[in-house]
Amino acid sequence: MPPSYTPQQKAAIAQYVAITQADKNAAVRTLKQYSWNLDQAVNAFYSGGNNTAAASPHQQSLSKLFDKYKDPQSKEADKNDEVTNIEGTMKYFEDIGVGLEDVSFFIVSELLQSPSMGELTRRGFIDGWSSQGIDTLPKMKNHILARRSQLPDPAFRPTFKAIYKHAFPLARAQGQKVLALDFAVEYWKILLSPPSLAWTTPSTAFLDLWLDFVQTRYRRAVNKDMWEQTLRFAEMCLLDESMAWWNEEAAWPGVIDDFVEFVREKRAVGEMRADEMDVE
């Protein structure tokens, strides 16, 4: 007859398994060892102090690796909430060959769910890499290179969308709901050009036009909706560069409507010049 547990104990077992990916028996043994204190049991797991045979070798290795980069001043009540400081984060990116001005930076930040620029959490670091079965720096470097090469592949588009969306909260100034335009411009240059999604077609350099438009006519901070709708609009442009699918009744942000008119103006000028050259 299986042992019976209280509702609180059952909840603790389920949470321990979800957090550590250990099996149920290992969860029970560790929780009993720590008198059913979930926080203490999880902390012991990540510090390698639970001595359970079923503990994930990836997670234990990743926890030790994270210790090399964590902020020595980070003394959180929950060990999983410990973070890196800017020096530790930069050292980590250097060790895996990732530059801050390359799309790889955004790939890693999304995978590890970095809460802000220059900061990683122990939980995000361990969960992100263990989900890929990776626990060493060389393997991390190779994985990021592989993901980088996949960015243009339509089959990889859902992952790219997640990377693009995560760039917005990642880059916002602390306490702000919008992204400064100069930051948005730099990130669009990285995320919407090769080796990432190339927002250009045979007849229209959309990204160049977009950057010209937002810097000369829009000139304001970028909110979350505008950031996300820009990617959706870019994808539509790549499917049909004529923009025949666009109409004023669609639920696009006003800035997108204005940009469509901007592009049409540029095209009209270009056609006029071509006609003048033909006459000459």
Confidence tier at 33 by pLDDT (50, 70, 90): confident
Per-residue pLDDT of 199-233, as tens digits, reads 999 999 999 999 999 999 999 999 999 999 999 99
CB 192, CB 234: distance < 8 Å = yes
Considering the four listed CATH numbers 1.10.1060.10, 3.30.110.40, 3.40.50.720, 1.10.238.200, the one that applies to the domain covering 154-279 is 1.10.238.200
Q: What span, in angstroms and rounded, lies between the C-alpha atoms of 8 and 4?
A: 12
CATH of domain 1-55: 1.10.8
pLDDT at residue 52, rounded to an integer: 42
Q: Please provide residue 84's backbone torsions phi and psi, each rounded to the nearest 5 degrees.
A: -90, 155
Q: What span, in angstroms and rounded, lies between the C-alpha atoms of 137 and 66?
A: 11
Residue 80: how many other CB atoms lie within 10 Å: 19
248 vs 167, which has greater pLDDT? 167
All structural domains of the chain with their residue ranges: 1-55, 56-150, 154-279
Per-residue pLDDT of 82-99, as tens digits, reads 899 999 999 999 999 999
Residue 113: how many other CB atoms lie within 10 Å: 15
Q: What span, in angstroms and rounded, lies between the C-alpha atoms of 264 and 271?
A: 10
What's the token pair of residue 245? 């699918």
Homologous superfamily of the 56-150 domain (CATH)? EF-hand (1.10.238.10)
Residue bearing tokens 């090469």 = 149
pLDDT at residue 48, rounded to an integer: 55
Per-residue pLDDT of 148-205, as tens digits, reads 999 988 888 889 999 999 999 998 888 889 999 999 999 999 999 999 999 999 999 9
Q: What span, in angstroms and rounded, lies between the C-alpha atoms of 126 and 45?
A: 12
Confidence tier at 77 by pLDDT (50, 70, 90): low
Q: Do domains 56-150 and 154-279 have the same CATH topology?
A: yes
CA angle 136, 137, 140 (to 5 degrees): 90
Cβ within 8 Å of residue 156, ≥6 positions away: 147, 150
